[in-house]
């Protein structure tokens, strides 16, 4: 008897790794039947970033409501489902535990298998909703907490060939936005300002010449902050649009250069860009253009904007892969806030 032994292959997926409570119903790993996302952005804006305790309390308030809404919107009953997929890491430990506890309770109550999902794998499999993934492929993961180049020989296989040694790209965006007095999260606003300015400040392109695929954005962040503080001390006026454009130009050049080099060295059929920063228009346009020019035969895939941020639909897509490989969890499943691809 196969895992998907019902007429429809349906998985309920739960995501609560940071500041979005999300529940989805996914069919065949590639069709979104429902995808409920309860965002906490407004609650965290006054703090200038995500406060773990606040995030956890919101998850407690929203998780059962999201489960009910996802089932109603999908028009399915628990008896129609084949399993429950849930993010168990990486992320905020308190936030993860709430999603895991809800998934365990739902799975136990309805006698459904529990499927553990790596949050970052979910981001990659969000691209599966655009078109079927073909292997081998390269994935550029860019988010608030991660910047990684991941090579996948086959589905469910992950090899990190490059990663940030300090700040992630999204983290650098938020810190720079704070210096500019922008509202959290500031990535979208910096992207918009960058399209109105020019790269006149020429910030450093860290590690771009090094013979590896690692990244570093801490030095760029420090250079940006020093430029702003030095100008303030000398009462010099800075052009905000140009500051944003210069910062973004540095981030994009490093990400694109190393990604293109990696795709030339590794045999790949597709390049997937995923994660919150994948919503950045400047990065999407530049990487897409470079792939067209320098990587003939490689298909560039980016999830739609609504699937770039944290959501349960991507968790459901990854859960199908895990289920088909026979990767299930018992009720001892615990949160792993530092989970990496090496331990999946």
Kindly report, residue by residue over 106-123, the tens digit of the pLDDT.
999 999 999 999 999 999
Segment 56-60 mean pLDDT: 94
- At residue 61, what are phi and psi to the nearest 5 degrees? -70, -35
271 known member of a binding site? no
User: Residue 46 — pLDDT band, cuts 50, 70, 90?
Assistant: confident
Fold of 134-302: Nucleotidyltransferase; domain 5 (3.30.420)
Give dist(CA 133, CA 118) in Å, integer: 18
CA distances from 318 to 197, 205, 226 (A): 39, 34, 42
88 within 8 A of 302, measured Cβ to Cβ: no
92 known member of a binding site? no
280 known member of a binding site? yes
Q: How far is CA 226 from the centre of its chain?
A: 29
pLDDT tens string 203-233: 999 999 999 999 999 999 999 999 999 999 9
Given this model, what pLDDT does residue 144 score? 85
Average pLDDT value over all residues in the chain: 94
25 within 8 A of 11, measured Cβ to Cβ: yes
255 within 8 A of 277, measured Cβ to Cβ: no
Given this model, what pLDDT does residue 197 score? 97
- At residue 139, what are phi and psi to the nearest 5 degrees? -125, 130
Exposed, middle or buried: residue 253 (CB in 10 Å: 0-12, 13-18, 19+)? middle
Helix (H, G, I), strand (E, B) or coil at 237: coil
Greater confidence (16 vs 4) lies with 16
Fold of 10-125+308-343: Nucleotidyltransferase; domain 5 (3.30.420)
310 known member of a binding site? yes
pLDDT tens string 276-306: 999 999 999 999 999 999 999 999 999 999 9
In this structure, the chain runs to a length of 344
202 known member of a binding site? no
271 within 8 A of 259, measured Cβ to Cβ: yes
Q: Are strands 137-142 and 31-39 parallel, antiparallel or unpaired?
A: unpaired
297 known member of a binding site? no
149 known member of a binding site? no
Q: Give me the residue spans of the domains in the chain.
A: 10-125+308-343, 134-302
Greater confidence (49 vs 165) lies with 165
181 known member of a binding site? no
């Amino acid at each position: 008897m196969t895992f998907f032994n019902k007429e429809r292959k349906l998985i309920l997926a739960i995501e609560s790794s940071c500041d979005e409570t999300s529940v989805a119903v996914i069919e065949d790993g590639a069709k979104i039947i429902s995808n409920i996302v309860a965002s906490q952005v407004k609650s965290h804006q006054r703090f200038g970033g995500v406060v773990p305790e606040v995030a956890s309390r919101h998850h407690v308030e929203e998780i059962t409501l999201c489960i009910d809404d996802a089932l109603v919107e999908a028009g399915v009953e628990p008896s129609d489902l084949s399993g429950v997929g849930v993010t168990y890491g990486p992320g905020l430990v308190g936030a993860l535990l709430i999603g895991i506890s809800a998934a365990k309770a739902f799975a136990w109550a309805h006698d459904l298998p529990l499927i553990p999902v790596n949050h970052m794998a979910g981001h990659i499999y969000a691209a599966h909703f655009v078109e079927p993934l073909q292997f081998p492929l390269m994935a550029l993961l860019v988010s608030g907490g991660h910047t990684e180049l991941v090579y996948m020989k086959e589905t469910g296989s992950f090899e990190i060939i490059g990663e940030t040694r300090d700040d992630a790209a999204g983290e650098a965006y938020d810190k720079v936005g704070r210096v500019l007095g922008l509202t959290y999260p500031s990535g979208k606003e910096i992207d918009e300002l960058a399209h109105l300015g020019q790269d006149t400040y020429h910030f450093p392109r860290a590690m771009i010449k090094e013979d590896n695929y690692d990244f570093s954005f801490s030095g760029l962040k420090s250079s940006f902050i020093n430029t702003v503080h030095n100008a303030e001390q000398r009462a010099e006026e800075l052009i905000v649009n140009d500051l944003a454009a210069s910062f973004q130009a540095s981030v994009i050049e490093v990400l694109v250069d190393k990604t293109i080099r990696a795709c030339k060295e590794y045999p790949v059929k597709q390049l997937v860009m995923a994660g919150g920063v994948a919503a950045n228009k400047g990065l999407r346009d530049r990487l897409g253009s470079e792939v067209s020019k320098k990587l003939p035969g490689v298909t560039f895939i980016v999830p739609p904007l609504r699937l770039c941020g944290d959501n349960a639909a991507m968790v459901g897509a990854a859960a199908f892969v895990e289920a088909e490989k026979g990767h299930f969890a018992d009720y001892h499943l615990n949160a792993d806030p530092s989970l990496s691809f090496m331990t999946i």
